[in-house]
């Protein structure tokens, strides 16, 4: 074999140095657990993947998204190692870390937070013909509270408890996936559905733009909920922005909200987490443009609502970029 000339050797060395150490050995595949395809998690997971995949030669990471049942499913899949990343409501992250609600007595100590994303609002839509104008009108009605595995199912149950309705006796509760509920409303097979989601989104567009007239029902009279739990805050559905022109409401609708978060497990490689955080944060202007729900994100507000400890890879980026001080 001919001896390699020095300049070829130099080029090989330079090329090798340009690739992060963790990516040299093999291509790393990561999957992000999202939600229904007509929600916001799915396109937002897609936006994160798109940014990472654009640099796949440099990073050696190939990211893909999976449509799932939502927050609870994603947290469970992340801690068992079935998925590397998941998108989850801040209330669900809190409950999983502290061993509450779906994780009663079983705190999920492998769970790690990475960053937070857009605000999510507990959204209740109902057909006009159902006569549901306020939460108390839900009594006796057919209401989708969401599939087990979704984040919003817990919000619907919290609201029922707060207003004194028993979801097993006082309403006909359905457990449909969020992507199925709009058609069921339009077909008149359910009266209303809950969906905790960023705005605008395809599911609510679908629910409000059919033949059957549909309205948003305000979530009011639930101050006890905000006082009791640290993760709920007052929020409005910005109907006045013209997001859902065919809904019968013309004014913004009062509700409560949480924050969307991006989570992982302590077992996921710190270099991979670091690379993803760095990519999203250093291109935040681009990231904001990838979905209207992301428009108001800042490097500062992207750390709201995180309960589980920061993943080491995320922490490294935040310290390095001066967003948090080195403890």
Tell me which residues in 111-150 interact with ligand GLU (CB under 6 A). Answer: 120, 150
Nearer to ligand GLU, 160 or 195 (CB): 195
Q: Is 265 helix (H, G, I), strand (E, B) or coil?
A: strand
Query: In this chain, which stretch among 76-84, 94-102, 192-200, 270-278 interacts with ligand GLU, using CB under 6 A?
Result: 192-200
Q: Which is nearer to ligand GLU, 291 or 315 (CB)?
A: 291
How many residues touch ligand GLU under the rule CB under 6 A: the total is 15
| Residue 194 binds ligand GLU (CB under 6 A) | no
Among 23, 40, 96, 192, binds ligand GLU (CB under 6 A): 40
Q: Give the SS3 label for residue 214.
A: strand
Q: Determine the Cα–Cα distance for residues 301 and 46; give it in Å rounded to an integer.
A: 21
Pick 61 or 117: Cβ nearer ligand GLU: 117
Closest CA to 312 of 260, 280, 265, 279: 265
Told to check if 45 binds ligand GLU by CB under 6 A, we report no
Nearer CB in complex with ligand GLU: 23/122 = 122
CB of 152 to ligand GLU, least distance (A): 5
Q: Is 151 in the site for ligand GLU (CB under 6 A)?
A: yes
Among 31, 49, 89, 264, which residue interacts with ligand GLU (rule: CB under 6 A)? 89
312 vs 314: CA distance, rounded Å: 5
Peptide bond into 267 cis (omega under 30): no
As a whole number of angstroms, the longest Cα–Cα distance in the chain is: 85
- 152-163 and 90-98 helices, crossing angle to 10°: 90
């Amino acid at each position: 074999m001919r001896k390699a000339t020095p300049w070829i050797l130099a080029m090989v060395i330079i090329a090798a140095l340009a690739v992060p150490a963790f990516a040299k050995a093999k291509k790393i595949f990561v999957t992000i657990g999202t939600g229904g395809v007509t929600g916001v998690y799915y396109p937002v997971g897609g936006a994160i993947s798109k940014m990472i995949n654009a640099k796949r030669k440099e990073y050696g990471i190939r990211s893909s998204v999976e449509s799932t049942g939502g927050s609870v499913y994603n947290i469970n899949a992340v801690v068992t190692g079935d998925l590397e990343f998941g998108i989850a409501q801040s209330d669900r992250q809190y409950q999983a870390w502290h061993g509450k609600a779906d994780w009663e007595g079983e705190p999920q100590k492998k769970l790690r937070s990475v960053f937070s994303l857009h605000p999510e609002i507990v959204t209740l839509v109902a057909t006009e013909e159902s006569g549901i104008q306020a939460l108390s009108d839900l009594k006796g009605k057919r209401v989708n509270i969401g599939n087990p595995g979704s984040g919003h199912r817990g919000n619907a149950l919290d609201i029922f408890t707060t207003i004194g309705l028993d979801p097993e006796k006082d309403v006909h509760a359905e457990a449909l996936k969020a992507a199925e509920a709009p058609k069921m409303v339009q077909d008149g097979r359910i009266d209303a559905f809950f969906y905790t989601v960023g705005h605008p989104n395809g599911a609510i567009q679908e629910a409000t733009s059919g033949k059957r007239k549909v309205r948003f029902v305000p979530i009011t009279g639930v101050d006890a909920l905000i006082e009791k739990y640290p993760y709920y805050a007052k929020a409005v559905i910005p109907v006045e922005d013209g997001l859902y022109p065919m809904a019968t409401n013309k004014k913004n609708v009062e509700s409560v909200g949480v924050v969307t978060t991006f989570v992982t497990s302590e077992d996921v490689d710190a270099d991979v987490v670091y690379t993803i955080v760095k990519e999203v944060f250093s291109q935040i202007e681009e990231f904001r443009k990838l979905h209207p729900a992301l428009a108001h994100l800042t490097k500062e507000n992207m750390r709201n609502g995180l309960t589980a400890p920061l993943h080491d890879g995320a922490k490294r980026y935040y310290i390095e970029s001066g967003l948090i001080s080195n403890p």
